[in-house]
Amino acid sequence: MEKLWSPWRSQYIDSIKEKHSSKGCFLCEALSHDVNELNNFLIHKGRLTFTIMNLYPYNNGHLMVVPNRHLNDLSLLTTEENNEIMLNLQKAQRALSEVMNPEGFNIGANIGKVSGAGVEEHIHFHIVPRWNGDTNFMPVLGEVKIISQDLIHTKEKLLSAYSKLE
């Protein structure tokens, strides 16, 4: 089996911990923002969950669906939270399909530090649009991931797509 190393991932995890250790949880903090303001990456607020862009995306359009409650264990989610998470993952998939026309998606959660969770104290679910050939030599050799679209521009497009889903 071949291994693909991602040394930049540990740098990201360390930067998040340093940046937010004294401020509290940046995911909880995101709830205080207005979706329509372009100075944050909040895309959608539901009753029990919210959707936010990943500031360090694996690919253009990488979103996270997050329960409002600060939890770190999947088993603590209520049935209502589970339902809303799934509904918002479906909504994210529809919006990303309209805006970015991906050929597939990765959807999942990293629970616990050993699983690769960069933010292990607040569970969240990733949805990453994928295209054939979207991985290349840049991350492996240059420790660089190319994100070819500005995050604010992506947010504007996603907000427009979400408005059609409401």
Q: Which residues are catalytic?
A: 124
53 neighbors 126 (Cβ within 8 angstroms): no
49 neighbors 68 (Cβ within 8 angstroms): yes
Contacts (Cβ under 8 Å, ≥6 apart) of 134:
59
Provide the CA 42 distance to its chain's centre, in angstroms.
10
SS3 sequence of 86-115: HHHHHHHHHHHHHHHCCCEEEEECCCCHHH
Ranges of H-type helices in 4-112: 7-20, 26-30, 79-100
Neighbours of 107 (CB within 10 A): 15
